[in-house]
Structure 1
């Protein structure tokens, strides 16, 4: 075995990965320590006090329907899956030119079929309707 060389094309990526995997958690810990050290602990009284002549505020629970989050996740999921179709459409003629046109077309049809099955499942479960069934 000869001496180690650093000429591998992905060696820089590996070094960046190691540095980020060390620096990111350390940055989070440092930020958490600083924010806890600088934060004022007694702010609840100030938040509930009246401002000038306004009415006395009542502490109310934050009620956001989980249905909103499900709808947002479905939107992001289908949006990202549509983004996978753009490079396929741009490179389809290249695949057709090298003889893989039918294979790539069948793969995209199966991908769209999986999307359709997921969409129908979400529709049947009521995830796309804004009215809550509860």
Structure 2
């Protein structure tokens, strides 16, 4: 975690800005609109200090490295297909409900095959470990 924390006054100031969604003592969450503005203005050659000051956010509060890192991250997300929204299905998979017996049977066959391959790999790994001890 960074050492630059926001004071209560800074949090109050930032939270009143139209481009800020949420502020904690250690981070600021910006609106998608502001993220897009940052990308477009940065591509036109504006510096991070100009972008943040023009938005009324106060570059001196955000800091140089935080501002540059945010803009870099915004550019990366802007170029993705889903844009600034989070990817769906990127977390831990949910337990699946099967619609048919065949689907469930195929699932368990695939799982059994996977486990067989995993066991074979682990057996080979143990054999190699024993060989080199």
The answer to whether the superposition gives a TM-score over 0.5 is: no
Task: For CA contacts below 8 A with separation 6 or more, give which structure has more relative contact order.
Answer: 1
Larger Rg: 1
Give the TM interval when normalised to the shorter protein: under 0.3
Looking at secondary structure, tell me which structure has more helix per residue. 1
Looking at secondary structure, tell me which structure has more strand per residue. 2
